Amino acid sequence: MIDRETVTWAYRLFLGREPENEIVINDKLAHGTIADLRRAFLASVEFQRANVSGKTATMSGHESQLNVETAASDCELRTMYAHLEAVWEKLGQEEPFWSVITSDRFLSKNLKLADGFVHSTFRPVSWL
């Protein structure tokens, strides 16, 4: 069983806003369980529009086979490695934090201080 507070927090968490009125709260209370409430929010048009980048295509297992080249000449490999090296060297110079953790919050324009970057490494390092 879910209550008003659970529904209100679901609005805040999934939609980033307060519920607009009592009618929508009562509507969501009808879902009954947290799992059902979560599914309803994740399936909502509002959530989907706000989280387009989080969508991934579902694989069915019946996709046609892709033709992927797996052989390359020494010249092609040198060209590819030179390109990769140049791209990542440029990224390291222009976006030093983003080139390590590719999240928009680590783009130079979004960084006020490097603290967020530094603190983001604490947990993974502690796993070692």
pLDDT tens figures, 17-31 = 999 999 999 999 999
Residues 37 and 5 sit within 8 Å (Cβ to Cβ)? no
Q: What's the N-to-C CA distance of the chain in angstroms?
A: 40
Query: 17-21, 97-101, 106-110, 123-127: lowest mean pLDDT where?
Result: 123-127
State the average pLDDT for the chain: 84
**pLDDT value of position 74:** 97
**pLDDT value of position 118:** 58
Residues 2 and 29 sit within 8 Å (Cβ to Cβ)? yes
Residue 7: other Cβ atoms inside 10 A: 20
Residue 18: other Cβ atoms inside 10 A: 9
Q: What is the pTM of this model?
A: 0.43
Q: Which residue has the higher pLDDT, 117 or 78?
A: 78
User: How many Å apart are CA 18 and CA 12, to the nearest integer?
Assistant: 6
Q: Quick check: 76 pLDDT over 60?
A: yes
Residues 28 and 7 sit within 8 Å (Cβ to Cβ)? yes
Q: Which residue has the higher pLDDT, 107 or 84?
A: 84
Residue 97: other Cβ atoms inside 10 A: 20
**What are 29-54's pLDDT values in tens digits?**
999 899 999 999 999 999 988 887 65
Q: Which of 27, 26, 28 is nearest to 38 (CA)?
A: 28
